[in-house]
Structure 1
Amino acid sequence: MTTAPDNSATPTANDSASAELRRGLIAAVLARTADCLAALFRTPTEDAGLNESRYTLLDALRRMPEGTSTQAGLAQALLQSESNLSTLLERMQQDGLISRVRSTTDRRKTLIGLAPAGSDALLRADYLRDRVAARLLASLNDDRARDLYLTLLTLLQQLESELGLDQRSQTATPNLVRTHSASDGVVPAPHWPTQTSATATQVSSTTNGQQP
């Protein structure tokens, strides 16, 4: 008697289609999560005197290895064109949030950096946004929070690689290892590995233990 071959372990077209649908669902959930986080961060960011565009730009500047960047470098890190940044940079300079000076090594280049008012606003926004994040993620214990962090970081690295950012920029990946000031003192940065060369520079956002 001939026994029929067992094809249960052999992937079928339906299996592949189902896998694609599941991954598409993950992408949809991530996109919706990003939208919700942006909405929830809007109020604390505005309470600090910023909007999301300004916060993101200031955050990118503080992650630059030298603390300054050209407009082209900023555009690359923010996944935008230089022309799209021009008006925003002009207005932020007028408001005293950023500074622009000529490079001492290449006079053709203008370097953009954080002005004191920009650093202060960034610290205030960090503190308020972190409070919102702590409330939203309070249901996760330390192990689940770490697992989620590492999973998302792995995905982020893959996305940056797809965009070519891992080769073109050392500041593409957000520097997630930082500290901030809380009402009861300075809070240490989480001891979670970043596993990326793009976060080699640790950012310390402290104000001598005072609440921003």
Structure 2
Amino acid sequence: MTRTFDHRNLAMLLLQAREALMGIFRPILKDYSLTEQQWRILRTLDEAPRNELEAGQIAKLSCILSPSLTGVLERMERDGLIGRERPPADQRKWIVGLTTKSRAMIAQIRPRVDMEYARLEARLGQAVLDDIYCRLDTLIEAVPAAHEPCDHAASALCKETGS
């Protein structure tokens, strides 16, 4: 007897949506010889205060498990994309920051990424895109994150619109 699930596979749908979106952005990353993980780290640092974060924060915000993050950060440091230093108060931690090289790279990539988001917005409409952002923020907040590598806060947009 075959039994079907009562709900669509939301996790699979989200992965398919991610793959569809990344299909737009992968060629940009390829032009700069960046992996998706490297770009997530650069974007996370670019959006952080003073463009620096503790390595554990980067792992959570960029959804990269700590063991993987260590190797990626080592390669990024070797390539001059990030700098790392240990804070005097806690020598067990690493503070990771953008370099002049990575800031320049982000400045070159930003217009291309923004152009793709503008195209997406033109296809979907601003209201639909805003709704997607809000619904994803709501989903992320609603699902217990005890076993998740990601730690997200709701966007200001959702708070402003009351969604």
- TM above 0.5: yes
Gaps of 5+ in 2: none
The residue number in structure 2 matching 1:193 is: 157
Secondary structure of the 1:37 match is helix
Q: 1:62 Cα shift?
A: 2.9
The one of 105, 110, 133 equivalent to 2:117 is: 133
Secondary structure of the 1:100 match is strand
Q: After superposition, what is the alpha-carbon deviation per residue over 1:75-103, rounded to whole angstroms, capped at 9, x for unaligned?
A: 23333332212221111111111001221
Q: Which runs of 4+ in 1 moved over 6 A?
A: none
The residue number in structure 2 matching 1:105 is: 89
The residue number in structure 2 matching 1:143 is: 127
Q: 1:55 Cα shift?
A: 0.6
Task: Measure, in 2, the Cα distance between the counterparts of 1:37 and 1:45.
Answer: 13
Contact residue 54 and residue 96 of structure 2 kept, 8 A: yes
Contact residue 99 and residue 115 of structure 1 kept, 8 A: yes
Contact residue 48 and residue 124 of structure 1 kept, 8 A: no
Give the aligned length.
Answer: 157
Moved more, 37-46 or 135-144: 135-144
Q: Per the alignment, do residues 165 and 126 of structure 1 end up closer, same or farther by CA in structure 2, a change over 3 Å counting?
A: farther
Task: Measure, in 2, the Cα distance between the counterparts of 1:145 and 1:79.
Answer: 22
Higher relative contact order (CA 8 A, sep 6+): 2
TM-score after normalising by structure 2: 0.75
Task: Measure, in 2, the Cα distance between the counterparts of 1:129 and 1:29.
Answer: 23
The residue number in structure 2 matching 1:208 is: none
Contact residue 45 and residue 128 of structure 1 kept, 8 A: no
Task: Measure, in 1, the Cα distance between the counterparts of 2:114 and 2:154.
Answer: 15
Q: How does 1:113-124 map to 2 (within 5 A)?
A: 113-124=97-108
Task: Measure, in 1, the Cα distance between the counterparts of 2:9 and 2:65.
Answer: 30
Q: 1:130 Cα shift?
A: 2.0
Task: Measure, in 2, the Cα distance between the counterparts of 1:42 and 1:175.
Answer: 26
1:123 corresponds to which letter in structure 2?
A
Q: What RMSD in Å do the two structures reach over aligned CA positions? A: 3.2
Q: 1:25 Cα shift?
A: 4.8
Q: 1:64 Cα shift?
A: 3.5
Task: Measure, in 2, the Cα distance between the counterparts of 1:174 and 1:131.
Answer: 25
Q: Does 1:36 align with 2:20?
A: yes
Task: Measure, in 2, the Cα distance between the counterparts of 1:117 and 1:194.
Answer: 34
- Name the structure with the higher helix share: 2
Identity over aligned pairs, percent: 25
Q: How does 1:164-203 map to 2 (within 5 A)?
A: 164=146, 172-173=151-152, 193-195=157-159
Q: Per the alignment, do residues 105 and 195 of structure 1 end up closer, same or farther by CA in structure 2, a change over 3 Å counting?
A: farther
TM-score after normalising by structure 1: 0.60
The one of 160, 163, 169 equivalent to 2:145 is: 163
Gaps of 5+ in 1: 1-16, 177-191, 197-212
Secondary structure of the 1:99 match is strand
